Amino acid sequence: MQTKIRPITPESLAEAKNLIFNGGVVAIPTETVYGLGGNAFDDHAVKRIFEVKGRPNDNPLIAHIHTDYDLSKIVDYDPPCAKQLREAFLPGPLTLVYPSTNKVSPFVSCGLNTLAVRVPSHEGAQAFLREVDIPIVAPSANISKHVSPTSAKHVYDDFQGKIPLILDGGECVGGIESTVCDVTGDVPVILRPGLITKEMIAEVVGACEEYTPDFSSGEKVKSPGVLYKHYSPRCQTRLYSSESVEFAISAYLREREKGEKVAVLCEEKRMPDFEKLGARCLNLGKTEEEMATRLYALLREAETCCNVLIAVEPTAKGGVMTGVLNRLRKACASVDIPHKKV
Protein backbone atom coordinates (compact mmCIF):
# COMPACT_ATOMS: atom_id res chain seq x y z
CA MET A 1 0.00 0.00 0.00
CA GLN A 2 1.24 3.47 -0.85
CA THR A 3 1.10 5.99 2.01
CA LYS A 4 0.24 9.50 0.84
CA ILE A 5 1.01 12.64 2.83
CA ARG A 6 -1.45 15.37 1.88
CA PRO A 7 -1.93 18.95 3.08
CA ILE A 8 -5.42 19.62 4.42
CA THR A 9 -7.59 20.77 1.51
CA PRO A 10 -11.23 20.12 0.55
CA GLU A 11 -9.97 17.33 -1.75
CA SER A 12 -7.83 15.56 0.86
CA LEU A 13 -10.64 15.87 3.42
CA ALA A 14 -13.06 14.25 0.96
CA GLU A 15 -10.53 11.46 0.35
CA ALA A 16 -10.09 10.99 4.12
CA LYS A 17 -13.87 10.83 4.61
CA ASN A 18 -14.20 8.21 1.90
CA LEU A 19 -11.49 6.08 3.51
CA ILE A 20 -13.05 6.42 6.98
CA PHE A 21 -16.53 5.40 5.77
CA ASN A 22 -15.00 2.37 4.10
CA GLY A 23 -13.50 1.16 7.39
CA GLY A 24 -10.02 2.55 6.77
CA VAL A 25 -7.64 4.41 9.07
CA VAL A 26 -6.26 7.88 8.36
CA ALA A 27 -3.59 9.76 10.31
CA ILE A 28 -4.68 13.21 11.46
CA PRO A 29 -2.94 16.13 13.14
CA THR A 30 -4.06 17.47 16.50
CA GLU A 31 -2.58 20.17 18.73
CA THR A 32 -0.99 17.49 20.96
CA VAL A 33 0.34 14.67 18.73
CA TYR A 34 -0.78 13.01 15.47
CA GLY A 35 -3.56 10.44 15.82
CA LEU A 36 -4.44 7.31 13.88
CA GLY A 37 -8.12 7.90 13.15
CA GLY A 38 -10.95 5.44 12.53
CA ASN A 39 -14.77 5.35 12.75
CA ALA A 40 -15.68 4.79 16.42
CA PHE A 41 -18.92 3.01 15.37
CA ASP A 42 -17.13 0.52 13.13
CA ASP A 43 -15.82 -2.62 14.90
CA HIS A 44 -13.62 -3.49 11.96
CA ALA A 45 -11.97 -0.05 11.82
CA VAL A 46 -11.37 -0.01 15.57
CA LYS A 47 -9.82 -3.49 15.50
CA ARG A 48 -7.65 -2.45 12.56
CA ILE A 49 -6.24 0.45 14.63
CA PHE A 50 -5.20 -1.91 17.44
CA GLU A 51 -3.69 -4.24 14.88
CA VAL A 52 -1.72 -1.68 12.88
CA LYS A 53 -0.31 -0.04 16.03
CA GLY A 54 0.35 -3.34 17.81
CA ARG A 55 -1.57 -1.84 20.73
CA PRO A 56 -2.40 -4.12 23.70
CA ASN A 57 -6.09 -4.94 23.50
CA ASP A 58 -6.81 -3.75 27.04
CA ASN A 59 -5.73 -0.16 26.37
CA PRO A 60 -8.86 1.84 25.44
CA LEU A 61 -9.10 4.55 22.78
CA ILE A 62 -10.22 8.17 22.90
CA ALA A 63 -13.15 9.31 20.72
CA HIS A 64 -12.55 12.67 19.02
CA ILE A 65 -15.47 14.94 18.10
CA HIS A 66 -15.91 18.40 16.57
CA THR A 67 -17.03 21.34 18.68
CA ASP A 68 -20.73 21.07 17.69
CA TYR A 69 -21.09 17.29 17.88
CA ASP A 70 -23.94 16.21 20.15
CA LEU A 71 -22.20 14.59 23.13
CA SER A 72 -25.43 12.86 24.24
CA LYS A 73 -25.11 10.56 21.21
CA ILE A 74 -22.09 8.88 22.78
CA VAL A 75 -22.27 9.31 26.57
CA ASP A 76 -24.89 8.15 29.09
CA TYR A 77 -24.53 11.00 31.56
CA ASP A 78 -22.91 14.43 31.44
CA PRO A 79 -21.79 15.36 34.98
CA PRO A 80 -22.00 19.07 35.94
CA CYS A 81 -18.24 19.34 36.46
CA ALA A 82 -17.69 18.09 32.90
CA LYS A 83 -19.70 21.02 31.54
CA GLN A 84 -17.57 23.44 33.57
CA LEU A 85 -14.37 21.84 32.30
CA ARG A 86 -15.56 21.89 28.70
CA GLU A 87 -16.40 25.58 28.98
CA ALA A 88 -13.01 26.35 30.48
CA PHE A 89 -10.71 24.22 28.32
CA LEU A 90 -12.37 22.88 25.19
CA PRO A 91 -11.59 22.68 22.40
CA GLY A 92 -8.14 21.81 23.69
CA PRO A 93 -5.78 19.16 25.07
CA LEU A 94 -8.16 17.71 27.69
CA THR A 95 -9.88 14.31 27.41
CA LEU A 96 -12.85 13.65 29.68
CA VAL A 97 -13.89 10.13 30.68
CA TYR A 98 -17.73 9.86 30.85
CA PRO A 99 -20.10 7.05 31.84
CA SER A 100 -21.04 5.37 28.56
CA THR A 101 -22.30 1.95 27.50
CA ASN A 102 -23.09 0.51 24.06
CA LYS A 103 -22.91 3.84 22.24
CA VAL A 104 -19.83 3.17 20.10
CA SER A 105 -18.02 -0.03 19.11
CA PRO A 106 -17.39 -2.18 22.23
CA PHE A 107 -13.74 -2.42 21.18
CA VAL A 108 -13.18 1.32 21.79
CA SER A 109 -13.25 1.15 25.59
CA CYS A 110 -12.07 -2.47 25.87
CA GLY A 111 -15.05 -3.50 27.99
CA LEU A 112 -15.02 -0.52 30.39
CA ASN A 113 -18.40 1.19 30.99
CA THR A 114 -16.89 4.58 30.22
CA LEU A 115 -15.84 6.49 27.11
CA ALA A 116 -12.96 8.95 26.83
CA VAL A 117 -13.93 11.94 24.66
CA ARG A 118 -11.77 14.75 23.34
CA VAL A 119 -12.47 17.89 21.30
CA PRO A 120 -9.16 18.92 19.70
CA SER A 121 -8.52 22.59 18.92
CA HIS A 122 -6.29 22.01 15.88
CA GLU A 123 -7.98 23.60 12.87
CA GLY A 124 -7.14 20.68 10.59
CA ALA A 125 -8.50 18.18 13.12
CA GLN A 126 -11.72 20.19 13.43
CA ALA A 127 -12.08 20.39 9.64
CA PHE A 128 -11.66 16.62 9.37
CA LEU A 129 -14.08 15.89 12.25
CA ARG A 130 -16.71 18.19 10.70
CA GLU A 131 -16.25 16.54 7.34
CA VAL A 132 -16.96 13.06 8.74
CA ASP A 133 -19.39 14.24 11.47
CA ILE A 134 -18.94 11.06 13.52
CA PRO A 135 -16.74 10.29 16.55
CA ILE A 136 -13.27 9.25 15.45
CA VAL A 137 -11.06 7.12 17.68
CA ALA A 138 -7.51 8.34 17.28
CA PRO A 139 -4.73 6.95 19.46
CA SER A 140 -1.30 8.45 18.92
CA ALA A 141 -0.08 7.53 15.43
CA ASN A 142 3.00 5.57 16.48
CA ILE A 143 3.79 1.89 16.66
CA SER A 144 2.85 0.87 20.22
CA LYS A 145 5.55 1.80 22.76
CA HIS A 146 7.50 3.87 20.25
CA VAL A 147 7.80 7.66 20.60
CA SER A 148 4.57 9.55 19.81
CA PRO A 149 4.57 11.52 16.53
CA THR A 150 4.54 15.32 16.39
CA SER A 151 4.90 15.64 12.60
CA ALA A 152 3.55 13.93 9.47
CA LYS A 153 7.09 12.66 8.82
CA HIS A 154 7.13 10.85 12.20
CA VAL A 155 3.86 9.12 11.28
CA TYR A 156 5.26 8.17 7.89
CA ASP A 157 8.38 6.71 9.50
CA ASP A 158 6.22 4.34 11.60
CA PHE A 159 3.44 3.51 9.13
CA GLN A 160 4.87 3.78 5.65
CA GLY A 161 3.09 1.18 3.51
CA LYS A 162 0.62 0.33 6.31
CA ILE A 163 -1.90 3.18 6.10
CA PRO A 164 -3.24 4.94 2.98
CA LEU A 165 -3.25 8.60 4.05
CA ILE A 166 -1.63 11.08 6.42
CA LEU A 167 -3.25 14.51 6.63
CA ASP A 168 -0.38 16.93 7.17
CA GLY A 169 -1.29 19.73 9.56
CA GLY A 170 2.26 20.82 10.35
CA GLU A 171 4.16 20.29 13.58
CA CYS A 172 2.14 19.80 16.75
CA VAL A 173 2.56 22.72 19.14
CA GLY A 174 1.39 20.96 22.33
CA GLY A 175 3.82 18.10 21.98
CA ILE A 176 2.55 15.68 24.65
CA GLU A 177 -0.75 13.81 24.67
CA SER A 178 -3.90 15.27 26.22
CA THR A 179 -4.59 15.24 29.92
CA VAL A 180 -7.02 12.36 30.60
CA CYS A 181 -9.47 13.25 33.37
CA ASP A 182 -12.15 10.94 34.76
CA VAL A 183 -15.37 12.85 35.54
CA THR A 184 -17.49 9.84 36.53
CA GLY A 185 -17.05 10.39 40.30
CA ASP A 186 -17.60 13.24 42.75
CA VAL A 187 -14.15 14.75 42.17
CA PRO A 188 -12.37 14.81 38.78
CA VAL A 189 -9.39 12.45 38.71
CA ILE A 190 -6.42 12.85 36.38
CA LEU A 191 -5.54 9.49 34.85
CA ARG A 192 -2.79 10.84 32.59
CA PRO A 193 -1.09 14.22 33.16
CA GLY A 194 -0.79 16.69 30.27
CA LEU A 195 -0.91 20.35 29.32
CA ILE A 196 -4.13 21.00 31.25
CA THR A 197 -2.79 20.60 34.74
CA LYS A 198 -4.27 19.44 38.02
CA GLU A 199 -3.99 23.02 39.31
CA MET A 200 -5.92 24.39 36.30
CA ILE A 201 -8.72 21.83 36.73
CA ALA A 202 -8.95 22.39 40.49
CA GLU A 203 -9.27 26.13 39.91
CA VAL A 204 -12.35 25.59 37.74
CA VAL A 205 -14.19 22.86 39.68
CA GLY A 206 -12.79 23.31 43.19
CA ALA A 207 -10.87 20.04 43.47
CA CYS A 208 -8.93 17.54 41.42
CA GLU A 209 -7.09 14.35 42.28
CA GLU A 210 -4.34 12.41 40.58
CA TYR A 211 -4.76 8.69 40.14
CA THR A 212 -1.90 6.46 41.16
CA PRO A 213 -2.65 2.80 40.63
CA ASP A 214 -1.81 0.50 43.52
CA PHE A 215 -0.26 -2.39 41.61
CA SER A 216 0.43 -4.41 44.74
CA SER A 217 -3.26 -4.62 45.70
CA GLY A 218 -4.34 -6.42 42.50
CA GLU A 219 -6.79 -3.55 41.89
CA LYS A 220 -8.08 -3.25 38.31
CA VAL A 221 -6.22 -0.34 36.76
CA LYS A 222 -8.48 2.55 35.72
CA SER A 223 -6.46 3.67 32.74
CA PRO A 224 -4.58 0.67 31.37
CA GLY A 225 -2.34 2.94 29.28
CA VAL A 226 -0.45 3.84 32.46
CA LEU A 227 0.82 0.27 32.67
CA TYR A 228 3.06 0.26 29.67
CA LYS A 229 6.60 1.25 28.88
CA HIS A 230 5.87 3.87 26.32
CA TYR A 231 7.16 6.70 24.17
CA SER A 232 10.54 4.97 23.87
CA PRO A 233 13.26 5.74 21.32
CA ARG A 234 15.02 2.81 19.63
CA CYS A 235 18.28 3.29 21.44
CA GLN A 236 19.48 2.54 24.96
CA THR A 237 18.43 5.17 27.48
CA ARG A 238 19.72 6.14 30.92
CA LEU A 239 17.79 8.70 32.91
CA TYR A 240 19.28 10.83 35.72
CA SER A 241 17.46 13.11 38.15
CA SER A 242 18.20 16.83 38.06
CA GLU A 243 20.05 16.44 41.40
CA SER A 244 22.50 13.84 40.11
CA VAL A 245 24.10 15.46 37.09
CA GLU A 246 27.55 14.27 38.20
CA PHE A 247 26.35 10.67 37.72
CA ALA A 248 25.05 11.58 34.27
CA ILE A 249 28.46 13.06 33.40
CA SER A 250 30.29 9.93 34.61
CA ALA A 251 27.85 7.75 32.65
CA TYR A 252 28.42 9.85 29.55
CA LEU A 253 32.22 9.49 29.84
CA ARG A 254 31.98 5.76 30.58
CA GLU A 255 29.79 5.07 27.55
CA ARG A 256 32.03 7.16 25.32
CA GLU A 257 35.08 5.28 26.53
CA LYS A 258 33.37 2.00 25.64
CA GLY A 259 33.13 3.34 22.09
CA GLU A 260 29.37 3.93 22.17
CA LYS A 261 27.82 6.71 20.14
CA VAL A 262 26.37 8.82 22.97
CA ALA A 263 24.06 11.84 23.03
CA VAL A 264 22.68 13.86 25.93
CA LEU A 265 19.10 15.09 26.31
CA CYS A 266 18.77 17.95 28.79
CA GLU A 267 17.34 21.40 29.38
CA GLU A 268 19.25 24.32 27.88
CA LYS A 269 20.86 25.51 31.08
CA ARG A 270 22.48 22.07 31.62
CA MET A 271 24.08 21.95 28.19
CA PRO A 272 27.40 23.69 29.06
CA ASP A 273 28.21 20.87 31.56
CA PHE A 274 28.17 18.39 28.68
CA GLU A 275 29.25 20.57 25.77
CA LYS A 276 32.56 21.25 27.48
CA LEU A 277 33.18 17.51 27.20
CA GLY A 278 32.40 17.68 23.49
CA ALA A 279 29.05 15.95 23.90
CA ARG A 280 26.26 16.11 21.35
CA CYS A 281 23.33 17.71 23.20
CA LEU A 282 19.65 17.52 22.35
CA ASN A 283 18.20 20.75 23.73
CA LEU A 284 14.86 20.46 25.52
CA GLY A 285 14.74 24.26 25.80
CA LYS A 286 14.00 26.65 28.64
CA THR A 287 10.29 26.85 29.41
CA GLU A 288 7.98 24.01 30.35
CA GLU A 289 5.89 24.53 27.20
CA GLU A 290 9.01 24.39 25.06
CA MET A 291 10.06 21.14 26.73
CA ALA A 292 6.64 19.58 26.06
CA THR A 293 6.72 20.68 22.42
CA ARG A 294 10.23 19.38 21.76
CA LEU A 295 10.41 16.17 23.81
CA TYR A 296 9.14 13.63 21.27
CA ALA A 297 10.94 15.11 18.26
CA LEU A 298 14.19 14.97 20.25
CA LEU A 299 13.60 11.37 21.35
CA ARG A 300 13.12 10.49 17.68
CA GLU A 301 16.24 12.43 16.77
CA ALA A 302 18.15 10.49 19.46
CA GLU A 303 17.51 7.21 17.68
CA THR A 304 19.07 8.58 14.51
CA CYS A 305 22.18 10.09 16.12
CA CYS A 306 23.20 7.81 19.00
CA ASN A 307 22.93 4.31 20.39
CA VAL A 308 23.04 5.41 24.03
CA LEU A 309 21.01 8.37 25.23
CA ILE A 310 21.89 9.97 28.57
CA ALA A 311 18.84 11.96 29.67
CA VAL A 312 18.80 14.42 32.55
CA GLU A 313 15.47 15.39 34.08
CA PRO A 314 14.74 19.13 33.98
CA THR A 315 14.83 20.93 37.34
CA ALA A 316 11.28 22.32 37.24
CA LYS A 317 8.54 20.06 38.64
CA GLY A 318 4.73 20.32 38.86
CA GLY A 319 2.35 21.96 36.39
CA VAL A 320 3.08 20.98 32.78
CA MET A 321 6.33 19.37 33.93
CA THR A 322 4.31 16.61 35.61
CA GLY A 323 3.27 15.49 32.12
CA VAL A 324 6.71 16.01 30.59
CA LEU A 325 8.44 14.01 33.35
CA ASN A 326 5.79 11.28 33.15
CA ARG A 327 6.59 10.82 29.43
CA LEU A 328 10.36 11.10 29.85
CA ARG A 329 10.40 8.51 32.65
CA LYS A 330 8.31 6.06 30.67
CA ALA A 331 10.42 6.65 27.56
CA CYS A 332 13.53 5.73 29.54
CA ALA A 333 11.99 2.83 31.49
CA SER A 334 14.07 -0.26 30.90
CA VAL A 335 11.31 -2.71 31.68
CA ASP A 336 7.61 -2.83 31.03
CA ILE A 337 6.48 -1.76 34.49
CA PRO A 338 4.75 1.36 35.75
CA HIS A 339 6.64 4.31 37.15
CA LYS A 340 5.90 5.96 40.44
CA LYS A 341 3.93 9.18 40.50
CA VAL A 342 6.03 12.23 39.50
Q: How far apart are alpha carbons 104 and 60 in whole angstroms?
A: 12
For ligand AMP, the binding residue among 122, 192, 270, 300 (CB under 6 A) is 192
Residue 178 beta carbon to Mg ion: minimum distance, rounded to whole angstroms: 10
Q: Which is nearer to ligand AMP, 63 or 281 (CB)?
A: 63
Residue 223 beta carbon to Mg ion: minimum distance, rounded to whole angstroms: 12
CA distances from 6 to 134, 166, 291, 323 (A): 21, 6, 28, 31
Q: Which is nearer to ligand AMP, 105 or 306 (CB)?
A: 105
* Residue 223 interaction partner, one of ligand AMP, Mg ion, none, beta carbon < 5-8 Å per kind: ligand AMP
Residue 180 beta carbon to Mg ion: minimum distance, rounded to whole angstroms: 11
* Residue 249 interaction partner, one of ligand AMP, Mg ion, none, beta carbon < 5-8 Å per kind: none
For ligand AMP, the binding residue among 12, 150, 223, 237 (CB under 6 A) is 223
Q: Determine, following the binding rule CB under 6 A, whether residue 229 of this chain makes contact with ligand AMP.
A: no
Beta bridge partner(s), residue 263: 280, 309
Interface size with ligand AMP, residues (CB under 6 A): 20
Q: Which is nearer to ligand AMP, 23 or 56 (CB)?
A: 56
Q: Which is nearer to ligand AMP, 99 or 253 (CB)?
A: 99
Binding mask of the shown chain, residues 100 to 139, with x at each position contacting ligand AMP by CB under 6 A: ---------x--x-xxx----------------------x
Q: Which is nearer to Mg ion, 63 or 248 (CB)?
A: 63
Quote the longest CA-to-CA distance of the chain. Answer: 61
For ligand AMP, the binding residue among 97, 136, 189, 208 (CB under 6 A) is 97
Residue 140 beta carbon to Mg ion: minimum distance, rounded to whole angstroms: 3
Binding site for Mg ion (CB under 5 A): 140
Binding mask of the shown chain, residues 151 to 190, with x at each position contacting ligand AMP by CB under 6 A: --------------------------x--x----------
Question: What crossing angle do the helices spanning 80-89 and 198-205 adopt, rounded to 10°?
Answer: 120
Residue 32 beta carbon to ligand AMP: minimum distance, rounded to whole angstroms: 8
Q: How far apart are alpha carbons 278 and 275 in whole angstroms?
A: 5
Window 32 to 91, contacts with ligand AMP (CB under 6 A): 59-62
> Is the bond preceding 91 in cis, omega lying within 30 degrees of 0?
yes
Task: Name the phi and psi angles at 235, rounded to 5.
Answer: -155, 165
Residue 53 beta carbon to Mg ion: minimum distance, rounded to whole angstroms: 8
Task: Name the phi and psi angles at 108, rounded to 5.
Answer: -65, -50
Q: 276 near 233, Cβ under 8 Å? A: no
Q: Which is nearer to ligand AMP, 24 or 225 (CB)?
A: 225
Task: Report the interface residues with ligand AMP, using CB under 6 A.
Answer: 59-62, 97, 109, 112, 114-116, 139-140, 177, 180, 191-192, 222-225
